[in-house]
């Protein structure tokens, strides 16, 4: 069923992830035990203040220390859902990733009429080391699991069609290109080193801006941050003209 509002699309996304999580994730882990990606409860997209600009990451890291309810392998019940959503709200309020992204958006991008972006991770799998996680999702036996996660995110974006999506992770940028564009276009984006491509659907369009991380060991340098901020600002202005 096609969603018609942000809240409805988020609910459909969370339900899609919830429905496939336990069996699919357990099967995926059994096939790739050497990746070090262990079972953890998934990360909800918690409802946020609506914004026409979204920031995408790759996948959530594990909070330190990791709460017992995140590590448990029991079936998800209503109480656990509340705990998981509350934990994600706390992450949004306190994690350095979100703090750095919000600071960048307010100070460097500086779109006065917008407060903060909506945050979403391409994959709701909690794992801190990206290299291990990429190995996990690229494993052939996990193809169906990855495609279902891709479909859930694509349905979410197709329903909302934000004005701009900033993919602040190089690997997530590459994967998003493959999810939202035909293979030939995704290959052109990669070969030409494009930093932006417009996704169109049903008369609407979303400008996707490809970048690297805003914080951490692989963070953008000062000049790259400035170029990214300028591209976001200019893209926003061009849409309003």
Give the pLDDT confidence of 172-230 residue by residue, as tens digits: 999 999 999 999 999 999 889 999 999 999 999 999 999 999 887 778 999 999 999 99
Instruction: Please state the three-class secondary structure of the chain as a single string.
Output: CCCCCHHHHHHHHHHHHHHHHHHHHHHHHHHCHHHCCCCCCCCCCCCCCCCCEEEEECCCCCCCCCCHHHHCCCCCCHHHHHHHHHHHHHHHHHCHHHHHHHHHHHHHHCCCCCCCCEEEECCCCCCCCHHHHHHHHHCHHHHHHHHHHHHHHHHHHHHHCCCEEEEECHHHHHHHHHHHCCHHHHHHHHHHCCCEEEEEECCEEEEEEEECECCCCCECCHHHHHHHHHHHHHHHHHHHC
How far apart are alpha carbons 128 and 63 in whole angstroms? 9
Tell me, what's the pLDDT at 12? 95
Distance in angstroms (rounded) separating the CA atoms of residues 151 and 26: 19
What per-residue confidence (pLDDT) applies to 34?
Answer: 59
Which range has the worst mean pLDDT, 6-10, 67-71, 190-194, 203-207? 67-71
Hey, what's the torsion of the CAs at 51, 56, 59, 62, to 10 degrees? -50
CATH domain 6-240 topology? Uracil-DNA Glycosylase, subunit E (3.40.470)
Q: Is the peptide bond before 80 cis (omega within 30 degrees of 0)?
A: no
pLDDT at position 225, please? 93
CB 204 within 8 Å of CB 162 = no
- Residue 25: count other Cβ atoms within 10 Å of its Cβ: 19
**Domain residue ranges of the chain, discontinuous segments joined by +:** 6-240
Q: Are strands 164-168 and 204-211 parallel, antiparallel or unpaired?
A: parallel
What whole-number distance in Å separates Cα of residue 55 and Cα of residue 164? 9
- pLDDT tens, residue by residue, 119-173: 999 999 888 888 888 888 888 888 888 999 999 999 999 999 999 999 999 999 9
Q: How far apart are CA 53 and CA 162, in angstroms?
A: 6
Percent of the chain with pLDDT over 70: 88
Mean pLDDT of the chain: 87
């Amino acid at each position: 069923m096609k969603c018609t509002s942000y809240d409805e699309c988020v609910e459909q996304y969370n339900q899609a992830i919830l429905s496939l999580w336990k069996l699919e994730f357990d099967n995926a882990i059994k096939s790739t035990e050497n990746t070090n990606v262990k079972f953890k409860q998934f990360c909800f997209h918690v409802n946020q203040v609506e914004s026409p600009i979204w920031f995408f990451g790759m996948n959530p890291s594990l909070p330190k220390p990791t709460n017992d309810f995140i590590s448990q392998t029991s079936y998800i019940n209503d109480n656990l859902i509340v705990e998981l959503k509350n934990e994600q709200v706390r992450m949004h309020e306190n994690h350095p990733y979100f703090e750095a992204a919000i600071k960048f958006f307010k100070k460097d991008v500086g779109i006065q009429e917008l407060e903060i972006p909506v945050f979403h991770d391409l994959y709701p799998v909690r794992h801190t080391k990206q290299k291990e996680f990429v190995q996990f999702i690229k494993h052939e036996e996990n193809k169906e699991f990855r495609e279902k996660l891709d479909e859930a995110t694509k349905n979410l974006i197709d329903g909302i069609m934000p004005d701009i999506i900033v993919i602040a992770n190089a690997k997530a940028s590459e994967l998003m290109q493959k999810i939202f564009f035909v293979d030939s276009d995704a290959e052109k984006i990669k070969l030409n080193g494009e930093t932006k491509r417009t996704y169109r659907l049903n008369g609407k369009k979303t400008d996707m801006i490809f970048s690297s991380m805003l914080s951490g060991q692989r963070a953008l340098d000062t000049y790259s941050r400035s170029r990214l901020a300028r591209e976001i600002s200019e893209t926003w202005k061009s849409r309003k003209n």
